[in-house]
Amino acid sequence: MIDIQNITKVYNTKNGELTAVDNVSLSIKKGEIYGIIGYSGAGKSTMIRLLNGLEKPSTGSVIVGGQDISKASGAKLREARQKISMIFQHFNLLWSRTVEENIAFPLEIAGVSKTQREKRVEELIELVGLKGRGKAYPSQLSGGQKQRVGIARALANNPEVLLCDEATSALDPETTDSILELLLDINKKIGLTIVLITHEMHVIRKICNRVAVMEEGKVVEQGDVLQVFQNPQAPITKNFVSQASGETQEMQASLEQILANYPAGKIAKLTFAEATTEQPVISQMIKQFDVVVNIVHGKISNTTGGSFGTLFIHIDGEQHEVEKALNFLTKQEIQTEVIEHA
Ligand SMILES: Nc1ncnc2c1ncn2[C@@H]1O[C@H](COP(=O)(O)OP(=O)(O)OP(=O)(O)O)[C@@H](O)[C@H]1O
């Protein structure tokens, strides 16, 4: 559906040239939810502007539904951009128009008749769960409801691709989840391709099928979300994954406590794939090897591609027994990483 081939975007600034996007290639399939994650300044917004044709790449091409957006201009660009729609962090609604009138706006521009518009607006209000709120003004809506209007408006002209620019960053965690569920639901119902940019790994875990991690304009890692969560490679991806698993603060406290109580042994991080989360591997390990095990922190997380578990354990015993025990885990297809020697 979307083919990004070797795009680079260089801006001329007063301090010289700045490469915002650096030789990025991505292929996004029809009907998938693709996430691009990175910290501030990584180049995500530039990527999204390149995708909707608002910016031209310095080199490379952006092909959406067979049309090269990066080379098109005038009527051809307008035609190509009709396939693409967008939602924003701050919703960008028209404050003097009601919910219905906001949603009808792109239909008016496209010259759709009044009767057709009314019918379509009603369908969209139903789809995004805003029944009964059609006559309200944006100022009378909650943040989540405003984003629902944004989504309905974005879908009015039946786009093939929806770009989401930090669409949940202004929302509280519960509302974020309800908007993500709505996007997932729409993706399933109408097979819409969704590309989202975010700085929150939670958003990626909840709804994306695949993810690209950006740092300093480059894609440093990409792949299936489950695979990236289970086995992150780049240091920045490891940071994002541990944030999303809530490891950092909760775990540090338990870790310090264990280290104070048991000054010997090792702390290991175990990552279980879906198939192994239900097997009693830890009790098997304790039975087979002369080791003592304490659970430090554990969690099972779900992604659209399946679930995985992470477990931090403190393991103590004779060095060769500990090594044999950790080897045993590896043989059960559990990724085992010693993170701290007590
Ligand atoms: N129009 C522009 N002119 C000059 N430099 C720009 C322009 N747009 C972006 N940049 C620079 O390109 C780099 C990437 O910015 P970009 O906004 O794409 O990152 P981002 O990951 O979206 O970050 P944020 O979430 O803070 O917007 C930054 O160093 C930024 O200052």
ipTM of the predicted structure?
0.96
Contacts (Cβ under 8 Å, ≥6 apart) of 163: 48, 51, 52, 84, 85, 86, 87, 195, 196, 197
Mean pLDDT, residues 199-226 taken together? 95
User: Backbone phi, then psi, for 114, in 5-degree steps?
Assistant: -60, -45
Pick from 13, 46, 56 the residue to mutate for probing ligand 1's pocket: most ligand atoms within 8 Å of its CB.
46
Query: Is the separation of the CB atoms in 103 and 155 below 8 Å?
Result: no
User: Is the same domain home to 218 and 159?
Assistant: yes
- Give the atom of ligand 1 at the shortest distance from the alpha carbon of 197: 22
For position 312, what pLDDT does the model report?
85
**CATH number of the domain residue 218 falls in:** 3.40.50.300
User: pLDDT tens for residues 111-165?
Assistant: 999 999 999 999 999 999 999 999 999 999 999 999 999 999 999 999 999 999 9
Looking at the chain, the whole-number percentage of residues with pLDDT higher than 70 is 95
At 311, the pLDDT band (50, 70, 90 cuts) reads confident
Q: What is the rounded CA–CA span in Å between residue 290 and residue 293?
A: 10
Pick from 10, 44, 198 the residue to mutate for probing ligand 1's pocket: most ligand atoms within 8 Å of its CB.
44
- Among 243, 264, 294, where does a domain finish? 243
Is the confidence at residue 342, as pLDDT, over 60?
no
- Among 215, 243, 271, where does a domain finish? 243
Q: Whose CA is nearest to atom 11 of ligand 1?
A: 20
Is the confidence at residue 253, as pLDDT, over 90?
no
User: Is the same domain home to 220 and 267?
Assistant: no
- The number of domains in the chain is 2
Q: Whose CA is nearest to atom 18 of ligand 1?
A: 43
Domain of 167 in residue numbering reads as 2-243
For position 79, what pLDDT does the model report?
83
User: Backbone phi, then psi, for 140, in 5-degree steps?
Assistant: -95, 5
Is the confidence at residue 213, as pLDDT, over 90?
yes
For position 248, what pLDDT does the model report?
63
Task: Report how far apart, in Å, the C-alpha atoms of 303 and of each of 67, 202, 285, 308 are.
Answer: 32, 10, 28, 8
More confident residue, 127 or 251: 127
User: Is the same domain home to 47 and 9?
Assistant: yes
For position 143, what pLDDT does the model report?
96
Task: Report how far apart, in Å, the C-alpha atoms of 298 and of each of 58, 175, 332 are.
Answer: 46, 26, 18
User: Is the same domain home to 310 and 227?
Assistant: no
User: Is the same domain home to 252 and 291?
Assistant: yes
Residues with CB under 6 A from ligand 1: 11, 13, 18, 20, 38, 40-46
Query: Is the separation of the CB atoms in 128 and 134 below 8 Å?
Result: no
Residue 165 C-alpha to ligand 1 middle, in angstroms? 13
For position 250, what pLDDT does the model report?
66
